[in-house]
Structure 1
Amino acid sequence: MFSLPKTATIIEVGPRDGLQNEARTVNTEDKLDFIKALQEAGLPEMELTSFVSPKWVPQMADAREIVAGTKKSGRQFVLTPNERGINAALEAGADSIAVFVGVSNSFNEKNINKSTAQSMEALKPLIEKAKQDGIFVRACISTAFYCPFEGAVDPQKTIELCGQFVDWGVDELSVADTIGMANPQESHELFSQLKKRFPDVLIAAHFHDTRRMALANAYAALVAGIDRFDASAGGLGGCPFAPGATGNVATEDLVHMFHRMSVDTGVDLEKLYEAISFIEPHVSNPLQTGMYTLYKNRK
C-alpha cells in the first residue's frame, strides 16, 4: 500500500498559460475579473501573466496592468524570459518570477532562438541576482518528457537540468509534460527520482491533456509524493511554440479527483465553475472538460 498526501496545492495557470494561445484577444478588465473569481474560489497561488514581447505573444501585452490590478493573495508568478522581462516584472510590482527553459535544444531554439545551454548560461546570473534580492524564483522545465521535434527526452537530462537550477538557488521546479505525451509510469518514475534527488525544493507537476492522460499522470505524480500541481480552469491552454499541444489539465477535474480521494485542495468547486462560466464567452471555443460539462448540464 502507499499513502497519498493529505493536501495538495493547485497553482492556477489559466490567466497566463491558459490564455496565451487564445486567438481572440481577452481585454484586461475581463482578465482581472477572471483572476478575482479564481482567487475567490480558493486559488491564491497563480500564474498571472508573462513579460514577453507582444510581437510574439500579443495576448500578454497588458502584463503591467494585470500585475498592478490584481489583489495580492498568496504567491503570484509572472513568466520572465530574460533580463528585460525580469526587470519589467519587478518594476511592475511582481515579487515572484518564473523563468523557463526546454530540456530539448530544438524546442528551446524554436521558443527563444537559443540552445538549452545558451539559455542556462544567460539565466544563471539573473537567478542568482534575483535570489540575492529576495525574489521567489520558479524554474519551469519544458519538454521534460517529450519534445515535439525530437521525440522522447532522456529523464537524466531533465534531472540534470533541474539540478543546475537547484544549485543556483531556485525555490521551485515546475516540471512539464509540454505536449501531453507522457504516460503514468513515466510520470511516477521521473517524479519519484526528482523527489529523492531534491527533497528540500518545491516541485510541481505540469501536465497537458493532449491524449487525455493528464489526470492519470497527475495521480501517478501524487503517488510519487508530489503535492503541487499546475492546472488551468476550464482546461484552457496550449503552447504557441509546441505543435500539437492542447490545453492544460483542467483545474476542476483535478480538484474533483483529489477531493474524491480525500486530498484537500482548499478549492470551492462551485465558485470555480462560476469563474469558468465567466471566462468562457471571452475565449474562442466552448470549454468542455469533464466536470465543467456536468456542471453546465446540471443547470
Structure 2
Amino acid sequence: MIEGVDYSGDRPSVAGLVAAGKKFVVRYGGPGGSWKHIDAAEASALIKAGLSIVANAEGAADGLLGGRSAGIDWARQADAHFRAVGMPADRPIYLSVDFDVTSGQWSVVADALRGAASVIGAGRVGVYGGRRAIEWARRDRVAAWYWQTYAWSGGVWVPGNHLEQYRNHVALAGGTVDLCRAKAADYGQWGQGDDMPLTNADADLVATRLLGRILGSTGPTVGVALQDTYRGVKELQARPLADVDEQALAEALAPLLQPGVTVEQLREVLASVRLVPGAG
C-alpha cells in the first residue's frame, strides 16, 4: 500500500509530509470555496518534493443530490481547475458523496455521476463515499475509480478500491489531514517526477517491442500506425521504459487484432490506455 493524505484549508508543510513518508495528496479543485482549492504554486511545490496529486471535486457535502446538472457543473469546474494547475487530460476526478447516502437518494446521485461522465468521459469519473456509495457506483457502472472512506462503512472495505481514507482529522506536518492509502498502482495520481510523456525515441522502442510481441502478423502498415500513435498522443503517460507494463497494453489491444481492424480503432484504444509500472 502507498500512504498519502487529503486536506482542505488547514494545510501541512510539504517537507513535513515527505518526512512523514507520504507519497501523494488528494486535493480539491473546481466547485466549492476557493479557500480549500489547490493552486498552481502548491501543485508545483508538491511535485518538486516528489509527491503525486489526486483530483477531488466537492461543492456542498450533499451537492450531488442536485442530480445530472450538478454532476455536469462539478465536472466542468473541476476539470478546468485541475488542468490549469497541470493535471494531464487523461487523469480521473473523484466526485465526493460526502454523506451517508440512502437507497432512496442513490438514483439522483447516480444521475449526477452520469452527468459528470458526459463532460469528462466515463473512464475519468471517480467517486468518494462510504461503503454503499462505492458498492452502488460499481454495481451501476457510474464510476471507474473508487475512493472509500471509513465513515458510513461499518468497518467493511469494498474489494477493488483505488483509495481508502482510514482516519480523519490527524495533526501532521503543521496542519490537519485525513490519512489515506492507495490500494492500486494507478489510483489516479499525476505530477510525480517520473510521470513524463514518452519521447519519440521511447515510442519507437516500445512500438518495436509490442510489434514483436503481439502485432507480428498484422503487417508493416499497422506497425507504422502504432508508432505514429505513440508520437501523436501527447497526453499518454509512462513510467521509465524498463518498467512499462507491456502485457497490460497487449491485453487491451488484443481484441482489436483481427482482420479488418482499422488505424482509427488502434488510435482510440491507445489514447485511452495509461501505461503503469509492471508487476515483474
TM-based fold match above 0.5: no
**TM-score, structure 2 as length reference:** 0.44
Indicate the structure (1 or 2) with the bigger Cα radius of gyration: 2
**TM-score, structure 1 as length reference:** 0.42
